[in-house]
Amino acid sequence: MATENTSRRPGGGTGDPGGGGSGAVVNQMRSLELLWGESPRPRRGPKPRLSIDRIADTAITIADTEGLDALSMQRIAGELGYTTMSLYRYVPGKAQLLDVMIDRAVGQPPTPEAPDGTSLPWRAQVEAIAWAVWRVFMRHPWFLSMQFAGPPIGPNHLAWMEAGTSAFTRGGLSDVEAFCAFAFVQGSIRDWARAETESAAGAPATEGGSPTAPQEQPESAYATALRTYAVPDRYPTLSRIVAAGMFDPPQRSGAADAHSEEDRGAFAGVESESFRFGIVFPLRRFLDGIESYVAGQG
């Protein structure tokens, strides 16, 4: 999946302790060796029982359940039953481990096919890949808290880029146009997924770490604020949207009515109301625009 990639740290940074470009280049080269299986295996000592894949999978489990703040080489080593120093025989540092984690976590992209095994139309392929991108973000929400310093370079990331770009080329775009179109779709999904996970996290705890009284959930609070301040004489369009129930959790009745016909297509089985609400309609209108653009070029 074509997320922006790194030699990075959670929240930003390039992983270059010296602050110059040479350290970042060295870190990137080390990451490439690990991602593409070019890093030499440890030669000393008994036959290794660890592997970079096992280390990364353990780290992914920790990040999935507890977030990136809980992730450290010491914690990973403890989960595996090894010393912290033993991990450095397989991975130079946390920045390189994050690169491997991200590539392993995204896995391979889907290969959308019709029931008879033939390829789906290009729009259906884009929609299937878009839904798969969303599911990756929902399974691994820590992706969304990371800031990246460059394009993806691992084998799985490149496979997502290939799948998404090739789907758009089947719609008639040039290779470069298709790449830009897929990047736009994925970026939109990432932004909506980030908003969804932040909303799902709930209201912040009060002083001391836990609420002293029930608190209104963020979506409900937002809807309440809009009903109060989005008055018709100043925000006529927005006030009509609010009145239609667009921001009322959990049903978002206006969105559900608007997308009922759309949901009978490739997204009919999608259970995520947030995805249908925030992605399906704009994605399909974007694809309509692509079709119109390609027809005009002919």
pLDDT digits (tens, 9 = 90+) for 169-216: 999 999 999 999 999 999 999 998 998 888 766 544 444 444 444 444
- The lowest-confidence range among 12-16, 113-117, 146-150, 219-223 is 12-16
Same domain, 186 and 45: yes
Round to whole Å and give the CA distance between 223 and 244: 11
Same domain, 156 and 275: no
Same domain, 257 and 192: no
Round to whole Å and give the CA distance between 128 and 270: 10
Query: Bigger pLDDT: 13 or 147?
Result: 147
Neighbouring C-beta atoms of residue 181, cutoff 10 Å: 23
Query: Bigger pLDDT: 10 or 83?
Result: 83
Round to whole Å and give the CA distance between 233 and 95: 53
Query: Bigger pLDDT: 31 or 123?
Result: 123
Q: Report the domain count for the chain.
A: 2
Round to whole Å and give the CA distance between 266 and 39: 42
Neighbouring C-beta atoms of residue 152, cutoff 10 Å: 23
293 Cβ partners below 8 Å, 6+ apart?
Answer: none
Mean pLDDT across 223-252: 82
Residue 293 pLDDT: 97
Range of the domain at 158: 21-199
Neighbouring C-beta atoms of residue 109, cutoff 10 Å: 22
CA distances from 10 to 21, 96, 235, 260 (A): 19, 12, 39, 39
Query: Bigger pLDDT: 244 or 148?
Result: 244
Same domain, 37 and 175: yes
SS3 state at 261: coil
Same domain, 82 and 149: yes
pTM of the model: 0.75
- Are 143 and 137 within 8 A, CB to CB? yes
Round to whole Å and give the CA distance between 142 and 68: 6
- The lowest-confidence range among 65-79, 238-252, 255-269 is 255-269
- With pLDDT > 90 as the criterion, what percentage of the chain qualifies? 45
Residue 36 pLDDT: 86
pLDDT at 17 over 50: no
Same domain, 176 and 247: no
Round to whole Å and give the CA distance between 92 and 32: 12
CA distances from 159 to 47, 120, 151, 153, 164 (A): 32, 18, 13, 10, 9
pLDDT at 84 over 70: yes
Same domain, 224 and 188: no
Neighbouring C-beta atoms of residue 100, cutoff 10 Å: 22
Round to whole Å and give the CA distance between 111 and 222: 39
Same domain, 257 and 172: no
